[in-house]
Amino acid sequence: MKITVIGTGYVGLVSGTCFSEFGHEVTCVDKDASKIKALENNIMPIYEPGLDSLVARNVEAGRLNFSTDLKTAMQDAKAIFIAVGTPSRRGDGHADLQYVFAAIEEAASYIEDYTLVVTKSTVPVGTGARIKARLSELLPAEKFDVASNPEFLREGAAIEDFMRPDRVVCGVDSERAHDVLRELYRPLYLNETPIVFTNRETAEVIKYAANAFLATKISFINEIADLCEAAGADVQEVSKGIGLDNRIGSKFLHAGPGYGGSCFPKDTRALVSTADQYGVPLKIVRSVVEVNEERKRAMAAKVIKACGGDVAGKRIAVLGLTFKPNTDDMRESPSLDIIPTLQEAGATIHAHDPKGTEEAEKLLKDVTFHNEPYSTMQDADALVILTEWNQYRALDLDRARKLMKDGILVDLRNIYAKASPDKHGFTYTGIGRGA
């Protein structure tokens, strides 16, 4: 089937490429000409493991194209996927839908034959109905349907998640829309992936409910970590002890510096804001947002406390800047709160990240960025681990300690909790380890 994907970011590029891998003919469109030019030269505008070879293979097979020209891209397309950003709107936390509606308006002018318009972007419940209403003003009803097909992929494992998802959710209000999506996802039926067909509103709520639930697990375990610290317990053992219960599950129970990224922060805020509009106070999700915001502030205070209550004039080595490993995405990363707070308190920051430096350079001021972890530690008073990249899991602690002036290790991901860093001359502070 021929399809067009509007928005060639983390979601659009991965979904478009994976649909082409399924055998469909895909054109990915972006208004950012530099992204399209890079892709035409097989240079990925984002870091996602395995993406470059999958793109190259499908481009070579003639199933995957990139363009800035939506009109040409939409010729003969049976479905268009909207995969543009839905960031937080300034002030009220609602999802900013301006990019979605700009894409819809433009696409509407090129629809000739029946086309299924699918939102892959995360949009608040009721957006599909608004899109339908807007398209009805521009086009005859028989020319289009509007479906919701929210995306659940995780950055860093996006290809695996798209090709072998836990489930696919499709919100439709017509047989025709159902048939188009069923045909598109047919390769997944073959390996028995659950495909949940429901109405559009339900699909829209499923996406936010899923993200809010996962964010809730994170804020929950972060609060439990604080209790563990105060009461002499160990949060990692608590996570294990509760996670072994199948009703709870072990995922998303790692205490840390708070959730970040392009989805959980904005989606939890948007869900609260949407529910407010419907007169439904989502008290749990509201608390999750509050706990997470406080968490990031508390982490800077934790580093300062570990440094004896004062970081003025101190040199701090930071390992990891992205919100999680295996991505270059810096959006709402805890590092963007923690580092400026340490700088305001007088610290000098030296930092390393395997993939995030290019983005971080745009967002963080007065940080010295290094190409490898050990040079960040030279003459440092403290070492802070912010992101659990694999390459930080087996650092040579003796070498690290020799490079550093003072042996303060603040491990906000608990990756050295069991490695006895004190034996290597470090004073260790982890998360939720009161024992």
In the complex, the residues that contact ligand NAD under the rule CB under 6 A are 6-12, 29-32, 35, 83-86, 99, 102-103, 121-122, 151, 153, 155, 262-263
**Residue 263 annotated in active site:** yes
The CA-atom distances, in angstroms, between 335 and each of 92, 119, 210, 290, 299 are 23, 31, 25, 18, 10
Opening angle at CA 287, ends 270 and 92, nearest 5? 30
Cα–Cα dist 38/215, whole Å: 34
Q: What is the DSSP string of 412-435?
A: TT-TTTTS-GGGGT-EEE-SSB--
Cβ-closest position to ligand NAD:
9
Amino acid at residue number 218? I
Cα–Cα dist 238/245, whole Å: 12
Is residue 178 left, alpha or beta, with left meaning phi > 0 and alpha meaning psi from -120 to 50?
A: alpha
Helix (H) / strand (E) containing 344: helix 335-344
Strand order from edge to edge, sheet including 382-385: 367-369, 348-352, 315-319, 382-385, 408-411, 427-429
Query: For residues 84 and 46, is the Cβ–Cβ distance under 8 A?
Result: no
Cα–Cα dist 95/204, whole Å: 13
Cα–Cα dist 52/1, whole Å: 23
Q: Which of 28, 228, 263, 307 is catalytic?
A: 263
Query: For residues 332 and 355, is the Cβ–Cβ distance under 8 A?
Result: no
Here the tokens at position 348 are 């000098």
Cα–Cα dist 319/300, whole Å: 14
Here the tokens at position 405 are 């002036």
Q: Return all residues near 271 (Cβ < 8 A) that are at least 6 apart.
A: 124, 208, 209, 211, 212, 282, 285
69 CB-side CA count, 13 A? 5
Strands 64-67 and 315-319: unpaired
Least Å distance between CB 102 and ligand NAD? Answer: 5
CB atoms within 10 A of CB 434: 15
Cα–Cα dist 96/93, whole Å: 8
Here the tokens at position 6 are 């509007």
Residues serving a catalytic function are 263
